[in-house]
């Protein structure tokens, strides 16, 4: 077997010490770089493996082109005799599978891992690359906390119509496969579905669909509703459950459109002290038509609904003080307004006119008389001097 065949051999300048894992047609070994003494992981596949060899080369190219803090980097790639090899950093802790086997992860821990993997997947999608095999065993944890997305063996360009899928077979891991992959090509939405299954697994300790064979599992993805995460973990709050179930909707248009949107929605769902943020509600709408829906933490919704009851609980004495102050403020405002208006009207005397100073007093006055025979007793105004007023006959009142 390949595992035994390469142990204690030197491939190029890497001395292989022991085997680490086996999967498909590839093997992973622990090796030592004889140039610098660094311990590395070396993935090896036979060059005669046909389709698997092609996948291996695609993975090597993808890892060489995707430089992200949470994508496991490629240190070296080459051919040696009948093998091709890919050299990567050795992550001692192991895979996310090991952590999940210890039990459901607390929301904050799951959110921390999700943020890192979602960031790596978002980066790959933005560079036109689909992963197509998101699962717990393809996430490595350094020191149990720092996450790397790895194993791009099924990587595919978003624009590439060419597929390495053999006729009659499905590519990927059945427990994480989006239902549309039965008939359609992979898309970013199918990667996000797999990420949603992984999130479900992190917080519950199990995947939603299991079966006796791959076909049975895939059929469950197609037709069965996933069990509610709260069936496995009672600590999951409704907002968190809603985010998870939206991510694994069978209709791709109802899922989150990006890995980052999923990560942000999950963070604001489990952090009850965090402000709500808009998340997409993808109900058969195009990207440009997506409305924004807010996830309001449960604690915040309760405080909003209790607003009126809190007002009714204010002591009566405080109500009296408040009303008194309000009345005083209104009185002061009214008095100030009246005083202002009075001060403007006092200087205005429309019945007094000023004349130029002459030798005789020229003070004028208005005498109001009633003209006999005038309709409606029309009033006339006569202007007369002070001297004329003295000798003028008094008007008769009819």
Ordered structural domains, the chain, with CATH: 1-90 (3.30.200.20), 91-326 (1.10.510.10)
Which of the residues 12, 133, 251, 273 is marked catalytic? 133
Spatial distance between the Cα atoms of 199 and 293, rounded to a whole number of angstroms: 21
59 near 24, Cβ under 8 Å?
no
pLDDT at 159: 53
138 near 148, Cβ under 8 Å?
no
Residue, of 27 and 154, whose pLDDT is higher: 27
DSSP conformation letters of 78-106: EEETTEEEEEEE--SSEEHHHHHTT-PPP
pLDDT at 337: 74
DSSP 291: P
pLDDT at 128: 87
Residue, of 392 and 197, whose pLDDT is higher: 197
| 253 pLDDT more than 90 | yes
Spatial distance between the Cα atoms of 292 and 51, rounded to a whole number of angstroms: 44
> pLDDT tens digit string along 311-329?
455 566 666 777 787 878 7
Residues 262-285, mean pLDDT to the nearest whole number: 66
pLDDT at 200: 98
- Lowest average pLDDT, out of 14-28, 201-215, 221-235, 362-376, goes to 362-376
Phi-psi region of 8 (alpha: psi -120 to 50; beta: other; left: phi over 0): left
Residues 63-72, mean pLDDT to the nearest whole number: 88
- Lowest average pLDDT, out of 15-19, 79-83, 294-298, goes to 294-298
> pLDDT tens digit string along 132-169?
889 999 999 998 889 999 887 665 655 554 444 443 44
How far apart, in Å, are the Cα atoms of 120 and each of 61, 152, 192, 378? 16, 12, 12, 97
Active site residue 79: no
> pLDDT tens digit string along 339-376?
665 555 444 444 444 444 444 444 444 444 444 444 44
User: Which pair of structure tokens corresponds to residue 314?
Assistant: 């204010």
pLDDT at 112: 96
Sorting pLDDT into bands at 50, 70 and 90, what band is 288?
Answer: very low
Spatial distance between the Cα atoms of 331 and 340, rounded to a whole number of angstroms: 14
pLDDT at 239: 95
Backbone phi and psi for residue 195, each to the nearest 5 degrees, phi listed first:
-65, -35
pLDDT at 157: 57
- Computed over every residue of the chain, the mean pLDDT equals 76
Residue whose C-alpha is closest to residue 91's, from 130, 137, 40: 40
User: How long a stretch of residues is the chain?
Assistant: 398
> pLDDT tens digit string along 92-140?
888 999 999 999 999 999 999 999 999 999 999 998 888 888 999 999 9
pLDDT at 152: 75
Sorting pLDDT into bands at 50, 70 and 90, what band is 271?
Answer: confident
pLDDT at 303: 39
| 240 pLDDT more than 80 | yes
Residue, of 237 and 280, whose pLDDT is higher: 237
Residue, of 195 and 162, whose pLDDT is higher: 195
Spatial distance between the Cα atoms of 84 and 45, rounded to a whole number of angstroms: 6
Per DSSP, helices labelled H in the chain are 2-6, 51-65, 96-100, 107-126, 188-204, 214-223, 238-247, 259-270, 298-305, 307-312, 316-345, 386-391
Spatial distance between the Cα atoms of 298 and 269, rounded to a whole number of angstroms: 9
Largest CA distance in the chain: 147
217 near 124, Cβ under 8 Å?
no
pLDDT at 272: 62
pLDDT at 379: 44
> pLDDT tens digit string along 178-192?
999 988 888 999 999
User: Which pair of structure tokens corresponds to residue 388?
Assistant: 């004329």
Residue whose C-alpha is closest to residue 147's, from 187, 97, 183: 97
pLDDT at 4: 66
Sorting pLDDT into bands at 50, 70 and 90, what band is 2?
Answer: low
pLDDT at 143: 85
Long-range contact pairs involving 387-393 (C-beta distance under 8 Å, separation at least 24):
387/360, 389/365
- Expressed in percent and rounded to 5, the helix, strand and coil fractions of the chain are 40, 20, 40
DSSP 44: E
- Quote the pTM value: 0.65
User: Which residues, including other chains, have CB under 8 Å from residue 324's CB and lie 6 or more apart?
Assistant: none
Residue whose C-alpha is closest to residue 219's, from 198, 250, 260: 250
User: Which pair of structure tokens corresponds to residue 349?
Assistant: 């005397």
pLDDT at 376: 43
| 267 pLDDT more than 90 | yes
User: Which pair of structure tokens corresponds to residue 124?
Assistant: 């790959």
pLDDT at 207: 97
Residue whose C-alpha is closest to residue 263's, from 95, 116, 71, 72: 116
């Amino acid at each position: 077997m390949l595992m035994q065949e390469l142990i204690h051999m030197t491939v190029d300048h890497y001395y292989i010490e022991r085997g680490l894992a086996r999967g498909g047609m590839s093997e992973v070994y622990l090796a030592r770089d004889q140039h610098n003494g660094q311990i590395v992981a070396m993935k090896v596949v036979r060059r005669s493996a046909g389709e698997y060899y092609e996948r291996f080369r695609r993975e090597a190219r993808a890892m060489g082109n995707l430089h992200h803090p949470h994508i496991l980097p490629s240190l070296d790639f080459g051919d040696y005799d009948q093998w091709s090899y890919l050299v990567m950093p050795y992550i001692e802790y192991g895979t996310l599978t090991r952590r999940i086997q210890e039990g459901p992860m607390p929301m904050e821990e799951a959110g921390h891992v999700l943020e890192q993997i979602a960031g790596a997947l978002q980066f790959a999608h933005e560079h036109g690359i689909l992963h197509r095999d998101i699962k717990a065993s393809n996430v490595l944890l350094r020191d149990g906390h720092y996450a790397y997305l790895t194993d791009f063996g099924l990587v595919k360009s978003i624009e590439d119509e060419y597929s390495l899928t053999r006729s009659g077979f499905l590519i990927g891991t059945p427990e994480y496969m989006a239902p549309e992959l039965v008939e359609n090509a992979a898309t970013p939405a199918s990667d996000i579905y797999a990420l949603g299954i992984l999130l479900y697994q992190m917080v519950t300790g199990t995947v939603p669909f299991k079966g006796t064979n791959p076909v049975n599992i895939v059929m469950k993805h197609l037709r069965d509703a996933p069990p509610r995460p709260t069936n496995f973990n009672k600590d999951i709050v409704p907002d968190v459950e809603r985010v998870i179930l939206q991510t694994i909707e069978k209709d791709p248009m109802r899922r989150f459109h990006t890995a980052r949107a999923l990560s942000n929605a999950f963070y604001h769902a489990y952090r009850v002290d965090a402000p709500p943020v808009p998340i997409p509600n993808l109900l058969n709408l195009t990207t440009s038509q997506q409305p924004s829906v807010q996830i309001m933490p449960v604690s915040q919704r309760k405080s909003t609904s209790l607003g009126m009851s809190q007002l009714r609980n204010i002591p009566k004495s405080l109500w009296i003080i408040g009303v008194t102050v309000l009345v005083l403020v209104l009185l002061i405002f009214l008095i100030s307004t009246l005083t202002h208006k009075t001060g403007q009207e006092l200087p205005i005397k429309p019945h007094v006119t000023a004349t130029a100073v002459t030798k005789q007093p020229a003070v004028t006055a208005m005498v109001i008389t009633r003209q006999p025979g005038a309709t409606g007793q029309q009033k006339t105004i006569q202007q007369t001097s002070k001297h004329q007023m003295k000798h003028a006959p008094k008007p008769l009142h009819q």
